[in-house]
Structure 1
Amino acid sequence: MTYKQAQSIYGIQGRSTVLTWLRKHGKMDWTTNPRKNTMPKSPRANETPAQKIKRLEQELEDERLRCLLLNRVVDILDAEHGMSLRKKYIAKEQEAFKKRRK
């Protein structure tokens, strides 16, 4: 492969860039085609729709539990230690929501 071919294949504009690179790394085999940058296939690529739905439902349930845990921790900190970690507008919305629920 000539430097002009390398320029056209790899989209390199400067001649000196290619020549410098070839001097540095010139021991490579230029007869084969350049390898394409492809992303590795993830194990999720072979999932059936049912498996994907089940996995996503599990992730959703995990996030719900995580959210409940964090809210519970914040509630305990508010009640026992007098720390207000929530933003005020969130607290106001919660109070309004609690009033609507009753």
Structure 2
Amino acid sequence: MKKKNDSQYVKRTQRDYSYTFKMQVVREVENGELGLNAAQRKYGIQGNATVKTWLLKYGSLDWDNKSHLSLEKTPEQKLLELEAKVRLLEKQKNTLEKELEFTNKKAIIFDMMIDIAEEELKVPIRKKSLPQQLIDSRLNKKKG
């Protein structure tokens, strides 16, 4: 797949169209964000009837009668949508877990750097908390 420049879209093959991709295109068309031809141009979809076929197969609108009556999704469609959502959520979860692990390691490294700097420079960097006895005595002075 080659791009000539940013304004031209990549030609795709039928194998490139995942279920989630098709559902995204269908959702955008049904929400009125894109027309059939605009969706075809935006995503580089070959074939003039491809998007319409997806709308008829996966969409929730009655495109044959051109009315905006919602059609009930089949159990297979619902299952496929839920499976796609589960895969997406699992991918997001894995990404967040990796980011958390990286952040935790980063915090440990920063703590180690502060410890080393305090030892070598003999300068207290971290704010030391006051001993409880001193805190209590200051509170008593304010009350009295």
TM-score (norm 1): 0.41
User: Which has a greater percent of helix?
Assistant: 1
TM-score (norm 2): 0.29
